[in-house]
Amino acid sequence: MEAVRIGLAGFGTVGSGLARVLEENGDWIERRIGRRIAIKTVLVRDLTKRRSFLPGPGVALTDDPSALADDPEIPIVVELMGGVGAAKELIERSLRAGKHVVTANKHLLAEHGPELFALAEEKGVGLLYEAGVAGGIPIVQTLKDSLSGNRIEKLVGILNGTANYILSEMTTNGLEFETALTQAQALGYAEADPTFDIEGVDTAHKLVVLIRLAYGRDYPLKALPVRGITSVTQQDIEVAREFGYRIKLLAQVRDVDGRLEAGVFPALVKHTFLLARVGGNYNAVRLEGNAVGPIMLHGQGAGALPTGSAVLADLMTLCREGFRPDNTGFGPAPVTPADILPPELAVSRYYFRFTVADRPGVMAAIAQTMADHNISIAQAVQKGDESAADVPIVFLTHAAQAKAADAVAAEIDAMSFTRKPTVLFRIL
Ligand code: NAP
Ligand code: HSE
């Protein structure tokens, strides 16, 4: 049977990763779906760029999107450019032309998912995005298919390979934040704008996509509370370790009596939990379904081949006999707005690190502020030596509302003895 010819938009980390897997596993793919998948045209931004890996012979390289979107010989367009400008235009154009689309672009799906799914639905084509969340981990298909009969009570994930790589390197090898970030970029894990990785924005994009898959609801990105890892220091990692925890950047959503409590935040995770042991560029998703109970998926969340593997899975799904699109996992039903539990009402245990003058009454004042907001202290430690003028004081609390924790941080930050802004992480 003739090969399916695809248009590949983007030939960076993931695009070239996909090309490699298509080449290496060509026979295997043919054995499973009865035909080969061949790249016809590759779209890039800069035709003059020197590339260490080139598309195979006979593949056209172009900087013109219409060479993909308007080519009747291309039934599938794979978008691996990133961003929400040119990528959105190409995807819309391709869907309108009746082509299936595969993308790894969680940013675009988080911001414009409902309208793109509506367009794909109208045209009766597939818009698949397994690579958009957690790289090589098949979480999209798992939620859409394998667990579709379950009500998802809770989902917590490590969804950003770059952030996890940085935290792991800081924890295990004592690396500085910036050094670890540079390494993650060199390994191809980071977004074009790495602030998306370290500020929790990429994790937020992925969480919005997962919420849609798990609940069929749209949780607007702007409504999601998001904190990144830039405030995590070696000192936090050390203190957390002394208390028996590791620091991870988590995405979490819970169904609280039909309302969704969701957020992205750095958290202390007990070192005995599987999530605490997820290292390097690995991601993990732990979820609880009302029938299946707890499940955990673990694998590489970023990088050329793991992500290429997820893109390939979507391509093979589209090429299989009898494919019928169900892009959201809720059939033709439109994605409706989520009923959101106000983030300030979320309940968690907390880690506070205050940097304060080392003088009498400071510890008591902090403890009193906690008590004023009905926060109960579980453990406390003051670090530093006799000679230090400023010292870190760390409190671990019992469960408290987010608004109480934020109020304590704001009040302490306004005190005359405070030397640096309070650092606040959750405890899982
Ligand atoms: P990348 O290495 O920066 O590659 C981007 C590619 O897209 C490059 O080939 C670039 O062309 C091309 N491109 C960008 N803008 C373009 C435009 N306006 N017109 C034509 N071509 C354009 O990015 P990546 O890491 O592969 O990521 C691609 C997508 O996959 C993003 O949505 C990202 O979030 C997602 N993703 C990445 C990973 C990962 O591990 N890297 C994992 C999962 C998902 P030039 O080569 O000419 O510059
Ligand atoms: N920049 C992303 C990460 C790529 O580090 O996880 C995978 O989506």
Instruction: Tell me the whole-structure pTM to 2 decimals.
Output: 0.96
* Residue 281 and residue 328 in one domain: no
Query: Which domain covers residue 175, as residue numbers?
Result: 139-301
- Hey, which of 16, 18, 44 would you mutate to test ligand 1's pocket, going by the most ligand atoms within 8 Å of its Cβ? 44
* Residue 183 and residue 260 in one domain: yes
Q: Please state, in angstroms and as integers, the Cα–Cα distance from residue 31 to each residue in 127, 205, 309, 316, 420, following that order.
A: 24, 35, 17, 11, 61
* Residue 128 and residue 165 in one domain: no
For every one of its 428 residues, what pLDDT tens digit does the chain have, with 9 covering 90 and above?
899 999 999 999 999 999 999 999 999 999 999 999 999 999 999 999 998 888 888 899 999 999 999 999 999 999 999 999 999 999 999 999 999 999 999 999 999 999 999 999 999 999 999 999 999 999 999 999 999 999 999 999 999 999 999 999 999 999 999 999 999 999 999 999 999 999 999 999 999 999 999 999 999 999 999 999 999 999 999 999 999 999 999 999 999 999 999 999 999 999 999 999 999 999 999 999 999 999 999 999 999 999 999 999 999 999 998 999 999 999 888 889 999 999 999 999 999 999 999 989 999 999 999 999 999 999 999 887 667 778 999 999 999 999 999 999 999 999 999 999 999 999 99
The ligand 1 atom nearest the CA atom of 49: 47
Atom 48 in ligand 1: which residue has the minimum CA distance?
Answer: 45
Catalytic residue among 40, 99, 206, 248: 206
* Residue 69 and residue 98 in one domain: yes
- Hey, which of 18, 162, 285 would you mutate to test ligand 2's pocket, going by the most ligand atoms within 8 Å of its Cβ? 162
* Residue 143 and residue 79 in one domain: no
The ligand 1 atom nearest the CA atom of 132: 44
* Residue 179 and residue 292 in one domain: yes
CB atoms within 10 A of CB 143: 24
Burial letters for 326-356: b for 16+ Cβ neighbours within 10 Å, e otherwise? ebbbbeeeebeebeebebeebebbbbbbbbb
Indicate the number of domains in the chain.
Answer: 3
* Residue 159 and residue 288 in one domain: yes
Atom 36 in ligand 1: which residue has the minimum CA distance?
Answer: 104
CB 68 within 8 A of CB 96: no
Residue 72 CB burial class (10 angstroms; 0-12, 13-18, ≥19) = exposed
What's the CATH number where 225 sits? 3.30.360.10
Residue 142 CB burial class (10 angstroms; 0-12, 13-18, ≥19) = middle
* Residue 274 and residue 153 in one domain: yes
Beta strands per DSSP E along 211-258: 217-218, 245-256
* Residue 197 and residue 144 in one domain: yes
How far does CA 260 lie from the centroid of its chain? 18
CB 270 within 8 A of CB 124: no
Secondary element (H or E) of residue 17: helix 13-24
- Hey, which of 45, 78, 209, 312 would you mutate to test ligand 1's pocket, going by the most ligand atoms within 8 Å of its Cβ? 45
* Residue 199 and residue 264 in one domain: yes
What's the CATH number where 378 sits? 3.30.70.260
Could you tell me where the DSSP H helices lie in 279-355? 304-319
Closest ligand relative to 164 C-alpha: 2
Q: Is 385 in the pocket of ligand 1 (CB under 6 A)?
A: no
Q: Is 49 a catalytic residue?
A: no
Q: Is 111 in the pocket of ligand 2 (CB under 6 A)?
A: no
Q: Is 81 in the pocket of ligand 1 (CB under 6 A)?
A: yes
What's the CATH number where 79 sits? 3.40.50.720
* Residue 357 and residue 214 in one domain: no
CB 353 within 8 A of CB 235: yes
Q: Is 162 in the pocket of ligand 2 (CB under 6 A)?
A: yes
Q: Is 131 in the pocket of ligand 1 (CB under 6 A)?
A: yes
